[in-house]
Amino acid sequence: MMQRRSALILGGALGALGPGLVLAQSAGRESWDAQADVVVVGSGAAGLSAAITAADAGCSVLLAEKAEHLGGDTLLAGGYFNAVDPVRQKAQGIEDSPELFLRHILASGDGKNSPELARELAYGATDALEWLEGLGARFLPKVSLIYGGMYPRSHKPVLARGKEYIRVLTEQALRRKVRIRTKTEVRSLIVSGEEGDAAGVAGVLAVRDGREIRIRARRGVVLASGSFGAGRELLRRHAPATAELPTDSSPGNTGLMLEAARRAGAELVNMDEVECVPGAAPGFRNPLRLDYDQTRMIMVNSRGESFVNELSTRREIARAVFAQRGLCWSVADSETVSRLDPATQKFLYQGLFAGRAFQGRTPRELAGKIGLPAKRFEQTFRSMARERRLLSPPFWAVPIHMRVHVTLGGVRIDAQARCLNDQGQPVRRLYAAGGVTGNVHGANRIGGNGINTAVVFGRIAGRNAAQEKPGD
């Protein structure tokens, strides 16, 4: 005779927890501190999109966020959103299509991403952009080619970085009466089922104000807890070359929910793939970057030589930088700086006053300030100046300090955003979207493919979780 069982799947560092931490509980009625049809873990673009979509399907939704504020990595992002856009692109004379976008995603992933998911992203990003605009998000009228973007289809919101997304999505979630609980850290998944059957996720165990609370998810749980970019132990285990680099990730992105998902039966993939991009200089808080428009800058090494095609993928650029001896530099002109968003310009001028960014009226003067061989740098500069539009003095230079930008590994999902086990079967009532997933991007994430991925798959996860039959 089968017996009802309920087990608590405890989170923690991957591989660090023993099998004794799967705690079988006695039969009988479960005791819950809170309940909702759909429980969402995380409040970045993926989590908020999932919550809104589930609420629009008629479900009650509870969203748990471990930090004091909403936003996650979305708030820290550059803010660009890749999507095929017939209106904006046509006005700029840009020919594009979802099929071309798909080819770029697959080529970038180097065989490590799911073609099925790549197609969902390429074909779903336009609808996701229109959905955001329908909710009130505002974007600038022109698209651009950004660092590692591969093609000019990146949309920039009117507010700097990720603020526009979080502003709009939070407002819309509250309008739909999504119960948002900040300072609520989900540490575990609670699974239930029949002994001998595949377990289904019944809820989560969280900690708030030092007290454990059990939250029931009648239809499903959506993991939108972000990457493990701040998880030093996981980085040391899976990508040791990146473990001591600074990180762009939110401090809470430690990968705790990856272990919880694995213990619930989900497979983790591509855990060794980590994307690094230039960022802040050591001891300087804000990023110093001239590379948001790759067509208007050059990168040089300590010998004043060009060493990489600036239009390459982020993975290729990072590998080229790491292969150099000595410090590398990004160089651009004043016209390029004037085109950057106000926050990026502010950081550059702060860096200039702090002696971390540099200006020169001529290439020779700039070379002297940053310690490059003047003659060699002048030759490099002048050979590329017209192609890269380095025409308006004074010229700028910032050092290239690579940082962990995002981890690309995580939970394997399918096109319905269901978490899959190592046999390719869904883990019942468990969904995932955004940085916690591991098979969307593969070996490289195209610049501008972070927030669009979060929104596309957040909506899919919320919609499908809402359609689950309520559990007992």
- Decide if 109 is inside a domain: no
Number of structural domains found in the chain = 2
For 68-110, what is each residue's pLDDT tens digit? 999 999 999 999 999 999 999 999 999 999 999 999 999 999 9
Q: Average pLDDT, stretch 411-423? A: 98
| pLDDT value of position 24 | 27
Q: How large is the C-alpha radius of gyration of the chain?
A: 23
Q: Are 336 and 296 in contact (CB under 8 A)?
A: yes
Q: Average pLDDT, stretch 355-372? A: 97
- Decide if 344 is inside a domain: yes
For 200-222, what is each residue's pLDDT tens digit? 899 999 999 999 999 999 999 99
Q: Are 229 and 222 in contact (CB under 8 A)?
A: no
| pLDDT value of position 4 | 40
Q: Does 119 have pLDDT greater than 70?
A: yes
Q: Are residues 172 and 64 in the same domain?
A: yes
How confident is residue 193, by pLDDT bands cut at 50, 70 and 90? low
Q: Are residues 364 and 347 in the same domain?
A: yes
162: phi then psi, degrees, rounded to nearest 5 = -95, 10
Q: Are residues 300 and 415 in the same domain?
A: no
Q: Average pLDDT, stretch 435-446? A: 98
- Decide if 154 is inside a domain: no
| pLDDT value of position 157 | 96
Q: Are residues 186 and 266 in the same domain?
A: yes
Q: Are residues 415 and 440 in the same domain?
A: yes
More confident residue, 436 or 13: 436
Q: Are residues 300 and 380 in the same domain?
A: yes
Q: Does 427 have pLDDT greater than 80?
A: yes
| pLDDT value of position 92 | 98
- Decide if 105 is inside a domain: no
- Decide if 91 is inside a domain: no
- Decide if 288 is inside a domain: yes
CATH code of the domain covering residue 385: 3.90.700.10
Length of the chain: 472
- In angstroms, rounded to a whole number, what is the distance separating the alpha carbons of residues 450 and 438? 13
| pLDDT value of position 29 | 57
- Decide if 311 is inside a domain: yes
For 129-182, what is each residue's pLDDT tens digit? 999 999 999 999 999 999 999 999 999 999 988 999 999 999 999 999 999 999
- Decide if 135 is inside a domain: no
* Mean pLDDT, rounded, of the chain: 92
Q: Are residues 300 and 208 in the same domain?
A: no
Q: Are residues 201 and 227 in the same domain?
A: yes
Q: Are residues 265 and 309 in the same domain?
A: no
Tokens standing for 453?
């991925």
Q: Does 122 have pLDDT greater than 70?
A: yes
Cα 172-97-47 angle, rounded to 5 deg = 25
Q: Are residues 183 and 61 in the same domain?
A: yes
Q: Does 14 have pLDDT greater than 50?
A: no
Which residue, of 400, 425, 452, is where some domain finishes?
Answer: 400
Which residue, of 374, 400, 426, is where some domain finishes?
Answer: 400
Q: Are residues 174 and 211 in the same domain?
A: yes
pTM for the complete prediction? 0.92
What is the extent of the structural domain holding 387?
A: 280-400
Which residue, of 354, 371, 400, is where some domain finishes?
Answer: 400
- In angstroms, rounded to a whole number, what is the distance separating the alpha carbons of residues 405 and 108? 16
Q: Average pLDDT, stretch 185-192? A: 95
- In angstroms, rounded to a whole number, what is the distance separating the alpha carbons of residues 371 and 303? 9
Buried/exposed 301-338: b ≥16 CB within 10 Å, e otherwise: bbebeebbebebbbbebbebbeebeeebbbbbbeebbe
CATH code of the domain covering residue 430: 3.50.50.60
User: pLDDT > 90: what percent of the chain?
Assistant: 86
Q: Are residues 264 and 350 in the same domain?
A: no
Burial of 156: CB neighbours in 10 Å, binned 0-12, 13-18, 19+: buried
